[in-house]
Amino acid sequence: MTQDDLDTETVNKIIQATYSAMRKKDEQNLTKDKTISMIKTFVEQVTQNGTKKD
Amino acid sequence: MELRKINLQNFRQFKNTTVEFSTDVNKNVTVILGDNTFGKTTFVKAFIWCLYRQNTFKDNKILLNHDVQVQMRPGESKETKVVLTLMHNGFDYLITTREEYTKSQNGNITTSKRAQSSMLKGCTGNPENMKPIPPDAVSNEINNILREELKDYFFFDGEDNSIEKISMRGNLKDAVSNLLGLQRLEDFANYFSPNIDSVRTRIADGLEKKDDGVTTLLNDDLLRNKGECQKAKDQVKKAEEEIDKLSKELQDKNDIISANKGVMNQQEEKKEKLDDNIKLKEAIENDFSNTVLSVNTTDVLLRSLYAASFNKYDLLNKLSSSSYKSETSLTHISTSAVDDIIKRGYCICGAKIESGNEAYKHLIESKEHMEPNDYGKYASDFSDSEHYNFRNSKVDLYTLSNNLTGILEKIGNVDQNNKRIKDITNLIVGCPEIGEIQQRANDISAEIAKQENYRDFYLYTNIPELEKKIQKNNADISAASVNNEKNNQIKNSLKYCDYIYLAASSQLQVSKNKVRNNLQDEVTKAFNKMYSGKRIIRIDEDFRVSTKLQGFENENIDDSGGLSAVTNFAFVAGLISLAKSKMTLSIDFSDNTPIDENYPLIMDAPFSKTDEKHIKNVCSILPIYCNQLIIAIMNKDYQEAEPALNVRVGKIYRFIKKSETESDIEAI
């Protein structure tokens, strides 16, 4: 798989959102389950709303 | 993290002591002078107790000041308290840890409330706006300032955690990974892993699958492979925990061996003497047994006594001059035999025998030279035999005497050994058995190597194979799923997850190598400024530091304690330097939030094993690498350190020992 199939902006958004969630996990003592759910929701939002390159 | 102030109340020998630390960037060193037993170690341990509630005192676990304990009435309670003020990431923190003790009716002091920490936090510069942090969130906040597993890399109490031990700590690999951002990248990648519970697997759970046998089989296969993969990861974790545990134990054993080298030599000598005694006792038993056997089988004593008696009474001469000693004697024939021949009338030779003829006369005359008329030949043989015995009995007795002397010498050696064993035993009474500890250390090293092989098999062979199978399972399941709009959207999300996972995993591998190389470069830079000699720095895959002699890079050469201390100072300096610049390690996966990467070093008697020249070098370098240096140091060491350190010293204090149970610290 190469990044050509994907939207770079979306990839970067996911990376930053994931780090943001990880920081929130540390700061607010969130569970891993809750953190995964947060990131999952974000990934679904940014990848399933027409941001894919076709 | 920038340490501002610490206050110790009824904490061991400190009744109410406050120390403010220098926060001046150019004068970032705080020095506290004090000799042994003045409270230097207690002072450093107070930080660890305040931040992590870890009581690492070995002798007495009661932290409450002894004078306070004595003054307490039965039923009365008093608390020991440490308050630490610090700044981190734009926030001021006031951390208070307290423990309460109560005196029972019979005078015993017991902990009535275990150590608990509270925290006030507020934006820097607004002390009046500091707000309390909920009790259950305090530990998490402290870990965000400095993770507990990293504390040993910044707080050196000189006992369990001295600078010399830093690069041999069991958790070194994890600690360096944490400090340099590798762990964060690994945690990041795991959120997109197809192999464990992750964002990716939860999104994939939403795929609408065909209700057919093929999909069922693919799902079963995926679950099985995931299960095996998880088991393999558990095995890796188990092996790493075991390696950590064993490494710590090995370090403890090596410390004991190193601290007891004299005892080890004496114990080895004692063992040699004991082994020697076992051999000597066996030899004595064998020699004695052989001697007794020799006396029995050769009748050496009896023959010697007889021969001596023979000689004593001059029987040889007497027999020689006796008529019995005759050369004409005939042996083994008697007069009766001759009478029978005469009676028969012819001789053995056939001659006829008649009374009065020549043969008859010859035989009658011969009877005078045989038994019972003549025993001369027997007497002659006996005389020769005893003469021979007499001469040889001297040799036999000499040999016997030599054997017995040899046995006595051996008995003497056993006595000497026993005396030395007794002396050594008295000298080393109460000391640990170093030989057994060395054997255990060897066993631990072998076990660590075994666990490392075990771990590496799972890590580099088994898990990658299973992950490939899981990837194929996921691709097959995705291909076999229902073709509708919802699934297409999910598949699109999964493509992003898979790309990010592969890219992050790949970045992690690159970063690991880069971190090791960068750490080696940074430590080398610091080392070259501190040490003048033909040594080069090597950092292995587990981030352990060692030095090699230039030109002999493949040989292990023992480091002296002094070189080891300088090497580890350089390691800490290099680690801190790299931690400050870790954000540049990854480009695609950088966490852009600014993080406070200021690290203080707090050390008790750090230069006790460093020579004068290297103290100066280390002192001129360390304050440049770390943001804050707080050292409790002996007066004699500070005399060596002062010329190099003076320009960076912002605050200087000294310990005052008021009594065996009370110390204080005052500014100079």
DSSP symbols for B411-461 = HHHHHHHHHHHHHHHHHTTT---HHHHHHHHHHHHHHHHHHHHHHHHIIII
Residues of A with CB below 8 A from B496's CB? Answer: 6, 10-11, 14, 43, 47
Residues of B in contact with A22 (CB under 8 A): 184, 187-188, 191, 591
Q: Minimal Cα–Cα distance from B181 to chain A, Å?
A: 12
How would you classify the pairing of strands B77-88 and B91-103?
A: antiparallel
pLDDT at residue number B118: 94
Instruction: Report pLDDT for B500.
Output: 92
- Domain end: B374, B400, B431, which one? B374
Domain contains B177: no
- Which of B193, B484, B493 is the mutation pick for testing A, counting most A CBs within 10 A? B493
Q: Give contacts of A35 with chain B, Cβ < 8 Å.
A: 191
Contacts of residue B137 in chain A, CB cutoff 8 Å?
Answer: 29
B587 has a pLDDT exceeding 60: no
Tell me how far apart the alpha carbons of residues B585 and B511 are, in angstroms, rounded to a whole number.
7
Pick from B144, B497, B588: CB nearest A43: B497
> Which residues in B have their CB inside 8 Å of a CB on A?
136-137, 140, 143-144, 184, 187-188, 191, 197-199, 202-203, 489-490, 492-493, 495-500, 502-503, 588-589, 591-593
Nearest CB partner across the interface for A22, out of B187, B203, B489: B187
Task: Note whether A11 contacts B502, CB cutoff 8 Å.
Answer: no
Q: What is the DSSP letter of B73?
A: P
The domain boundary, picked from B374, B409, B441, lies at: B374
How many alpha carbons lie under 13 Å from residue B643 in its C-beta half-sphere?
A: 8
Q: Minimal Cα–Cα distance from A15 to chain B, Å?
A: 7
The model's pTM is 0.65
Question: Inter-chain contact B496–A16, Cβ cutoff 8 Å?
Answer: no
Residue B213 CA, distance from chain mean position:
58
Q: B565 near B529, Cβ under 8 Å?
A: no
pLDDT of B582 over the 60 cut: no
Question: A10 to chain B nearest CA, in Å?
Answer: 9
Asked if the structure places residue B286 within a domain, the reply is: no
* B214–chain A nearest CA distance, Å: 25
Q: Which tens digit of pLDDT belongs to each residue from B523-555? A: 998 898 888 777 888 888 778 888 887 766 655
Which residues of A are less than 8 Å from B136 in CB distance?
29
Chain B residues in contact with A14 by the CB 8 A cut-off are 496, 500
Residue B22 lies in a domain: yes
pLDDT at residue B137 is higher than 80: yes
Check A39 against B499: CB less than 8 A apart: no
**Model confidence over B287-318: pLDDT tens digits?**
999 888 887 777 777 777 877 787 777 777 77
Q: Which residue of B has its CA nearest to A39?
A: B199
Rounded-to-integer distance, Cα B558 and Cα B556, Å: 7
Query: Looking at chain A, which residue has its C-alpha nearest residue B190?
Result: A36
Residue B130 lies in a domain: yes
Domain that holds residue B350: 330-374
- Give pLDDT tens digits for B274-288: 999 999 999 999 999
CA–CA separation, B549 and B536 (whole Å)? 6
Q: What is the pLDDT of residues B354-364, one digit of tens each?
A: 999 999 999 99
Q: Which helix (H) or strand (E) is A51 found in, with range?
A: none
Residue B139 and residue B131: Cα distance in Å, rounded?
16
Q: Tell me the two tokens of residue B469.
A: 């199978």
User: Is B144 contained in some domain?
Assistant: yes
Whether residue B144 and residue A27 make contact (CB cut-off 8 A), yes or no, is: yes
How far apart are the CA of B503 and the nearest CA of chain A, in angstroms? 10
CB contact under 8 A, B493 and A47: yes
Tell me which chain B residue has its CA closest to the CA of residue A49. B489
- Among the three residues B347, B374, B401, which one is the final residue of a domain in this structure? B374
Give the residue-averaged pLDDT of B404-422.
94
State pLDDT tens for residues B363-380.
998 888 887 777 777 777
Tens digits of residue pLDDT in B140-167: 889 888 888 788 888 888 766 677 667 6
Is B506 within a domain? no
Domain count, chain B: 2
Question: Rounded to an integer, what is the distance from CA B509 to the centroid of its chain?
Answer: 32
Query: Is there a domain that residue B644 lies in?
Result: yes
Contact A22 B184 (CB under 8 A): yes
Count of beta carbons in the 10 Å neighbourhood of residue B512: 17
> Token digits for B497?
């997850």
Closest to B193 in 3D by CA, of B457, B588, B504, B476: B504
CATH classification at residue B653: 3.40.50.300
Q: Is residue B341 part of a domain?
A: yes
Mean pLDDT over residues B565-591, rounded?
70
Among A16, A35, A44, the strongest candidate for a mutation testing the B interface, having the largest count of B CBs within 10 A, is: A44
